[in-house]
Amino acid sequence: EIVLTQSPATLSLSPGERATLSCRASQSVINYLAWYQQKPGQAPRLLIYDASNRATGIPARFSGSGSGTDFTLTISSLEPEDFAIYYCQQRWNWPPSTFGQGTRLEIK
């Protein structure tokens, strides 16, 4: 099973700052990596798929990069509504698929 490790576990930043979230895979997933945002009491929302493609309706401040085993989600300038938990997900050997354990982005 491919294991995804997200870092940091918690990231404390202020609105307007740049956020950089990491996801490392235990083996190469090529570019088959997605990012999801989950706010308290809500379902996850797809942000990025195939490493760098923004999903429908996702603001341009969200961007994804990386390939192989190392991936990054960047939020260029944090808005108040961006504070949430972020999960990465790989689909290299789909099915199945696995998720990372999440990074909590909190207001500093």
Partner 1 sequence: EVQLVESGGGLVQPGRSLRLSCAASGFTFADYAMHWVRQAPGKGLEWVSGMSWNSGSINYADSVKGRFTISRDNAKNFLYLQMNSLGAEDTALYYCAKDIRSGGGSGQGIFHYWGQGTLVAVSS
Q: What residues line the site for partner 1 (CB under 8 A)?
A: 32, 34, 36, 42-46, 49-50, 55-56, 87, 89, 91, 94-102
Q: Shortest distance, CB of residue 52 to partner 1, whole angstroms?
A: 13
CB of 26 to partner 1, least distance (A): 16
Q: Which residues are 27's β-sheet partners?
A: none
Place of tokens 């990596």: 33
Our CB check for partner 1 shows the closer of 5 and 12 to be 5
Nearer to partner 1, 9 or 60 (CB): 9
Least distance in Å: CB of 41 to partner 1? 9
Cα–Cα distance measured from residue 79 to residue 13, given in angstroms and rounded to the nearest whole number: 11
| Residue matched to tokens 């207001």 | 107
**Minimum distance of partner 1 from residue 62's CB (angstroms):** 15
User: Based on CB atoms, which residue is closest to partner 1, 16 or 95?
Assistant: 95
For 5-43, give one letter per residue: b (16+ CB within 10 A) or e.
ebeeeebebeeeeebebbbbbeeebebbbbbbbeeeeee
Nearer to partner 1, 15 or 59 (CB): 59
- At which residue do the structure tokens 């940091």 appear? 8
